[in-house]
Amino acid sequence: MVARLIDEDPEQAYAYSRIALRLASRVAAVREAAGFAAYATQKYSEALAEFRAAKRMTGSVELWPVMADCERGLGRPERALAMAGEPEVQKLDKAGQVEMRLVAAGARRDMGEIDAAIVTLQSPELASSSVQPWTARLRYAYADALLAAGREDEAREWFAKTLEADKDGATDASDRLAEIDGVEFVDAAAAEADLDDADLDDEDDEDEDPAEVAAAERAADQAEYYDEDDEEYEPADDADVDLADELVVVEDDERGKA
């Protein structure tokens, strides 16, 4: 369950892993799965503890690269570099050694040592023309490091090589190439929606009666005029009208008596 959910819903996978740990904490596979679930949710301290436990139980060094990457996640790149020089690395298979190289290069970059990261990635595996499961990631990391060092032409070349090896689209090498080339992708669906909205606005304008529009504009102008000086125009209320009528009657009576 944890392995199945870890890519789709890491948080749910982590929750399941905690349950599994309570039920079978002495099973190495459970500790390893719990480690990967914690790693996927960036809980690097927990992940490192679980990976260490799994390593003790099995005696395998397979988890060494991801353990080193946990050190990076905890802000300790120097420890990751130290692990890259330990004897355990020599016991890793080819895929594990490439992974360790990627982690070491990442640690160099964490420390601001871009040129050293580039040198770390230069290897027979990088130079090989054969495509292996790790090839796309290795080429991508190298291209990204070159770009960070300001070597744009070389970076473009290696992003293109990454694309050749990345049949599953695991990296965004195509986007990085487009970015270097200054190509801007347009969201066709969003553009079509904007065009439809503009057409609707035009139709609304066409449906409006010109006479009604003119009358509305005159009313708005009048309201604006009277708002500018409320004292010049104030509609009289009923009390004011009654008082004015009384004054007129009184004046008429006085004139009659005179």
Domain boundaries, the chain: 2-181, 188-257
Mean pLDDT, residues 99-122 taken together: 98
pTM, two decimals, is 0.71
Would you call 20 helix, strand, or coil by DSSP? helix
The yes-or-no verdict on residue 168 having pLDDT over 70 is: yes
If one compares 254 and 162, the residue with the highest pLDDT of the two is 162
What pLDDT does residue 233 have? Answer: 41
Note the CATH architecture for domain 2-181. Answer: Alpha Horseshoe (1.25)
Q: What is the pLDDT of residue 224?
A: 54
Mean pLDDT in the chain? 84
Q: Does the structure show a pLDDT above 50 at 248?
A: no
More confident residue, 235 or 24: 24
